[in-house]
Amino acid sequence: MISRALASGLLAAPPLAVLGVSLFNMLRWPRGRPDGRIGERVSVLIPARDEERTIERCVRGALGGTRSPDEVLVYDDGSTDATPNILARLAEDPRVRVIPGMPLPPGWVGKPHACHGLAEAATGDVLVFVDADTALDASGLARIGSVLEDYRADVVTAGIRQVTGTAAERLVIPLLHLSYLAWLPIPLVWRTRDPRLLIANGQLVAVRRDTYDAVGGWAAVRAEVVDDMAFCRLVKQAGRRVVFADGHRMATSRMYHGGGELWEGFSKNLYEGIGGHPAALALVLALHGWIFVAPYAALGAAALGARALLLPAAIGVGANVAMRGAMAVRYRQPWEGVILHPLAVAALMGIALNSFRWARRGAIRWRGRVYASRSLRAVPPASAS
């Protein structure tokens, strides 16, 4: 029979530790100042492929801020919907330029190739890469500028505000902030040179041009599906500084529309995002099950008569509820995620297993393309030019 001390160690202490790390990060996460500035020339760079739902909002968000960019470049990566027509209209603004997409060379993943083309055409000293489903807030560039200046950063990337619609989105998307806040004290990202201590979000990445060139740009991570982490890892390996900021007031995104898009999008990234190793997947699944699901299961067992589990399970559940509640208040997340937290985590674990399956089969699907396994993609390709 399990002792109360052992139950406390297994069920109460880990969730309390994660709660402590999360609260620390919420307090110490750089938010940027709305009166910040970027003195250099700024290029906002947007890779786009079939983005008719979001591209106009994205471009107009970039143009409409308190710190207007010097240019906005959009790479039209073979769109077959109304995206080209929308871009043609937006390009009536002289600051907007559309870069026609080129065929994807062997060995390249679509987004790094699009970002590479954008950087080649850009004239800015600061390159701000923004996903086409992401809209900069009015103070977005100003806040990025303040983080670049205040933290002497070479790269600023940020966890931005996520908008959700369907029940599946409302359940799973808020777990992005859980992945940012729960596991690593965020200041270690910029206070250490260890490239393993890293968090990045490719929806918003600002990089100084000299740093971009020094690390080889997106061409150096041409084969990476999780290109944001790979690129920022190169920056840290080069001895330069990456700052991961609280982008709640920098930009907004609705990443996916519905459960199907969410399943595909997370399946594309999740396994490779944790390193693409089965042992890493096993560890992630074990930690999520142990910290975020087991206390709820133990509380159910206590209700059925396992009285030694009652107090530690209640503490573990309370820590989970407190953590998700704090995130819901601070980041305007749906409250059902607080109540259905273990169900959301179980769904994420299922997506992680599917991501592993896709990666092992060499069948990672996204935006009408299928990518081979990472080892095959890593073969050096011909020039992208």
CATH of the domain at 194: 3.90.550.10
Same domain, 252 and 175: yes
Same domain, 214 and 277: no
Please state, in angstroms and rounded to a whole number, the distance separating the CA atoms of residues 303 and 294: 14
Same domain, 350 and 325: yes
Query: CA angle, corner 199, sides to 207 and 47, nearest 5?
Result: 45
Helical H segments across 65-166, by residue range: 83-90, 110-121, 140-150
Residue that the structure tokens 């027509």 belong to? 85
Compute the radius of gyration of the chain from its Cα atoms: 21
The pLDDT of residue 245 is: 97
Domain that holds residue 150: 29-258
Count the neighbouring beta carbons within 10 Å of the beta carbon of residue 60: 15
pTM: 0.91
Domain count, the chain: 2
Please state, in angstroms and rounded to a whole number, the distance separating the CA atoms of residues 378 and 98: 29
Q: Is 378 domain-assigned?
A: no
Please state, in angstroms and rounded to a whole number, the distance separating the CA atoms of residues 236 and 234: 5
Nearest-CA neighbor of 170 among 350, 339, 333, 345? Answer: 333
Count the neighbouring beta carbons within 10 Å of the beta carbon of residue 179: 18
pLDDT along the chain (385 residues), means of 10: 60 94 96 92 96 95 90 94 95 94 89 96 97 96 96 97 94 94 95 94 97 96 92 96 96 92 89 88 95 94 86 94 96 93 96 89 70 60 43
Please state, in angstroms and rounded to a whole number, the distance separating the CA atoms of residues 77 and 98: 10
> Contact, 107 vs 377, CB < 8 A?
yes
Q: Is 316 domain-assigned?
A: yes
Angle formed by the axes of helices 83-90 and 55-63, nearest 10°: 20
Same domain, 245 and 284: no
Q: Is 372 domain-assigned?
A: no
Same domain, 283 and 247: no
Residue that the structure tokens 């620390």 belong to? 24
Please state, in angstroms and rounded to a whole number, the distance separating the CA atoms of residues 115 and 268: 18
Same domain, 153 and 170: yes
Please state, in angstroms and rounded to a whole number, the distance separating the CA atoms of residues 227 and 273: 9
Same domain, 97 and 214: yes
Q: Is 213 domain-assigned?
A: yes
Same domain, 122 and 91: yes
Q: Is 205 domain-assigned?
A: yes
Q: Is 326 domain-assigned?
A: yes
Same domain, 279 and 339: yes
Same domain, 166 and 253: yes
> Contact, 112 vs 218, CB < 8 A?
yes
The pLDDT of residue 383 is: 43
The pLDDT of residue 382 is: 43
